[in-house]
Amino acid sequence: MAGTALRGRLTWRVATVATVADETDHVRTITLDLPDWPGHHAGQHLDVRLTAEDGYSAERSYSIASADGEAVAITVERLDDGEVSPYLTQELRPGDQMEARGPIGNWFTWEPHDGGPLLLIAGGSGVVPLRAILRHHQRTGSNVPARLLYSARSLEDVIYRRELDQYGGSAEVRYTLTRRQPPGWGGFSGRIDDAMLARIAWPASQSPLAFICGPTPFVEAVAELLVARHYPTRRVKTERFGGA
C-alpha cells in the first residue's frame, strides 16, 4: 500500500510501561514511554515484541489508542487462550519493558483536511483506532461533523465508556448493545443493519468519509451496507482483526 511503512525498515525500540488502566474487566490500556518515537497519526498501529528468559519471543500488532502528539498507548483485550494478551492485561506493571516498532500504516488515518462528515463504526475492540481519531478530531478543534456508532455485547463491554460519554458538541456517540441491555435502555439494540444506518449515516450526497473497524465479518457486513447506500468505496476505509 502506497505510503505504508514497511516493517522491515522499522527499528525495534525498548518501551517502558508508564501506566496501565483497566477499561473493562478484560480490557486494559497501556501507556508506553518510547524514546526517540518519530510520532504517529490517529489510526496507525504498532508491533509489540515480548521475549522470555529462554529467548522465546512473540510478536503482536496493536492499534495505537492515542492521538497525534499524545504519549503512545495501546488498548489490549484479553483472549483467554491467547499467548500475549493475558500477560499484557493481567501481569504487566509500570516499569516493565517490552519492544515496539512503528508507527505502521497510513490508509486508516484521518486528518482535519480530509474533511467529512466523519462516520466511525466500531465493533468491540475495533473502537481503539477510532478513539484515537475522535481524540485527534477534538484536539485539533476540527469543525468536521463526527459520529461514532459503537457495537458492543453489553454496556459493561463498552471500552472507554467514561470518555465516550463525555463527548458533546464535538462528536456524537451512539451505542448498540447486541446481547444484553440494561433496564430502561434507550439506545440501539442488536446488530447494525440498514435500518440503524438509516438513522445514523449521513446521506451519500454529503460525501461522508467512513471508517469501520472490528472483526472481519462485522467490517465486511457494515461496509457492504454503506456501499449499498451509495457510499463510494474509496470513502469507506476498513480495518479488520481476528485471532492470532
Of the three residues 104, 130, 162, the one that is the final residue of a domain is 104
Of the three residues 104, 124, 147, the one that is the final residue of a domain is 104
Render pLDDT for 125-178 as a digit per residue (tens, 0 to 9). 999 999 999 999 999 999 999 999 999 999 999 999 999 999 877 799 999 999
Q: What is the mean pLDDT of residues 114-124?
A: 95
Residues 148 and 77 in one domain: no
Q: Which domain holds residue 16?
A: 7-104
Q: Predicted confidence band at 53 (pLDDT cuts at 50, 70, 90)?
A: confident
Residues 63 and 129 in one domain: no
Q: How many residues does the chain have?
A: 244
Please report, for the domain that includes residue 55, its CATH number. Answer: 2.40.30.10
Q: Which three cell numbers stand for residue 171?
A: 462528536
Please report, for the domain that includes residue 135, its CATH number. Answer: 3.40.50.80
Of the three residues 41, 71, 104, the one that is the final residue of a domain is 104
Residues 120 and 222 in one domain: yes
Q: What is the pTM of this model?
A: 0.92
Q: What is the DSSP track for 150-187? A: EEESSGGG-TTHHHHTT--TT-EEEEEESS---TT--S
Count structural domains, the chain.
Answer: 2
Residues 135 and 199 in one domain: yes
Residues 87 and 133 in one domain: no
